[in-house]
Structure 1
């Protein structure tokens, strides 16, 4: 993977976020319709940075005609409602996300209830669950409801700026991730599906259509985001990408090599976890302490998502089984199965 230059009709506008990931990229596509992809979190500093970036490109916020949202996370959707109010722009997003964006508070409440149950079942402590709840409530401020005018589905064609993109659903980092691919020029708008500087965390989410948070209590049927993500990466590797525009970081080329490195990373992490289970059954929370020394409590949720995702991968490979002890899921290796060297 190497960095590459932006096409002449594309402007990247980095926007500040309050999270460790750092700035998020919004992309302006010149042409008709004048299009913005992603818009930063709902905070005055991010909106000012967006206005300044647009002004430097000779464009006003009121000029935006189409706003495309790559997925449901606050750093990508937060300013959508403000942009619509000031521009009248149409909003395009993954079709099943439309109802969720229209009633964000309900989505956030549902998602947190699911996550709290899932994390508790896999060993997160009461104190850590309180920190997770506080963080979830705090982070709700960074997005506001918005109506979706252009519901997008896998395989749709979308005119954005002077380009025609094919829309691909690429779940894994979230259930709603989409990428846009301009096949004629090899340009991939990747969102957080594929990032050059960091591996996208396969974050635990309820399915967009689900309403029963008790999905988290059923190990047989709950979502397996890493399995979805690996499938999504394999499908993206089939595209002839010459330039990738990520949600965070610089434009990149060499997408197939980057994808191969991400898949290898997940295999290595799964093998690390399998080796850590060799002496005794452990919960996902136990394994966080094995993999990271003194992970801050504020980061525990992401650490748990990472571990759970790789336990799912091992279970899919029939390398581990589970047992429930005092209400906590513990994982053990299957006899005769060995980790890779």
Structure 2
């Protein structure tokens, strides 16, 4: 059943070059006139954005406030261009200020970090070379550099599109994810934190503000995105949202059951990995074959990242052991597991 958007909110569906498909941007028509997210820096997305605004009697120059839900290129790629057109105030998670001031450098650090992490967890040289090529190709969709005018923090209230939106930091999919809740009607601007049709990838990133991207991939220093994501989901469940505006796919109603299903999915996936490790030590790259059959070069690294995230969960629960020797990390099943709540 199609869910209608509330008055004063318009969804724009913008193309991307990735398998995830289109990305959503939202116009909040009140004061200040607000756009949430921008789509990637590609001609097709720009045309869709301009045409979508025009259908509402608007031009890019009319936008007064640009809100960015997180740092990924399908959400910020056209931000620098839009700011040039409009002079809009830019609001995003405060930890992104240094990153977005030099967007090409941010993509380079993320690419270097990801390559180091994949190598450490068993991705062979030829697959890493393909990953690097894909990353270099994709950086062009990330757009130019720009300044954050309003650095948003957890609990802050942002006036946008005639609404008072409370900011909630929700790391996991990225370290910069935020959701914004209108407590009057339960409208939740969710970005990629909550999606109806697909599960958000818990992705490791270099720490915001980090400049030593390779060292940041060391096992004792990087963030554990799935632990963060499950904690974030649990916090979001308590917000009592009534209508969710996601970064991809259709809008949807009360997210409580969806959140429970997402957490259950991650627990089931972790159990499958733990069972596979009972046969002996494996790298994350080897464990990809346990969960998926024949991933394409385009998404193979996402599979490895997903396994790494679930290994973090199992390690935190005392269900596996992990060791890095000569730059290669392997995991194996613990003989005695701690009880998991």
Question: In which range does the TM-score fall when normalised by the shorter chain?
Answer: over 0.9
> How far is 1:291 from its partner?
1.4
- SS at structure 2 position matched to 1:48: helix
The aligned runs of 1:101-116 (5 Å cut-off) are 101-116=100-115
- SS at structure 2 position matched to 1:25: strand
- 1:156-194 CA distances to partner (integer Å, 9 max, x unpaired)? 110111111001110000000011100011000000000
Q: Is the 8 A contact 2:28 2:162 kept in 1?
A: yes
- SS at structure 2 position matched to 1:207: coil
- The farther-off stretch of 109-118 and 261-270 is 109-118
The aligned runs of 1:237-276 (5 Å cut-off) are 237-276=237-276
- SS at structure 2 position matched to 1:166: strand
1:121 matched to 2:120: yes
Q: Is the 8 A contact 2:204 2:222 kept in 1?
A: no
Which aligned segments of 4 or more residues in structure 1 are displaced greater than 6 angstroms?
A: none
Gaps of 5+ in 1: none
Structure 2 residue aligned with 1:192: 192
CA–CA separation in structure 2 for the residues paired with 1:185 and 1:310: 35
Structure 2 residue aligned with 1:183: 183
Q: Is the 8 A contact 1:274 1:339 kept in 2?
A: no
Structure 1 residue aligned with 2:148: 148
> How far is 1:272 from its partner?
0.5
CA–CA separation in structure 1 for the residues paired with 2:244 and 2:41: 26
CA–CA separation in structure 1 for the residues paired with 2:266 and 2:109: 29
CA–CA separation in structure 2 for the residues paired with 1:161 and 1:217: 40
Q: Is the 8 A contact 2:173 2:225 kept in 1?
A: yes
Question: TM (normalized to structure 1)?
Answer: 0.96
> How far is 1:87 from its partner?
1.1
CA–CA separation in structure 1 for the residues paired with 2:213 and 2:202: 19
Structure 2 residue aligned with 1:96: 95
Q: Is the 8 A contact 1:157 1:164 kept in 2?
A: yes
Q: Number of matched residues?
A: 339
Question: TM (normalized to structure 2)?
Answer: 0.96
Structure 1 residue aligned with 2:281: 281
Structure 2 residue aligned with 1:137: 136
CA–CA separation in structure 2 for the residues paired with 1:153 and 1:104: 21
CA–CA separation in structure 2 for the residues paired with 1:10 and 1:3: 15
- The farther-off stretch of 6-15 and 142-151 is 142-151
> How far is 1:338 from its partner?
9.3
CA–CA separation in structure 1 for the residues paired with 2:278 and 2:65: 53
Q: Is the 8 A contact 2:207 2:216 kept in 1?
A: no
The aligned runs of 1:2-41 (5 Å cut-off) are 4-41=3-40
Q: Is the 8 A contact 1:3 1:253 kept in 2?
A: no
Structure 2 residue aligned with 1:322: 322
CA–CA separation in structure 1 for the residues paired with 2:28 and 2:213: 39
- SS at structure 2 position matched to 1:92: strand
Structure 1 residue aligned with 2:201: 201
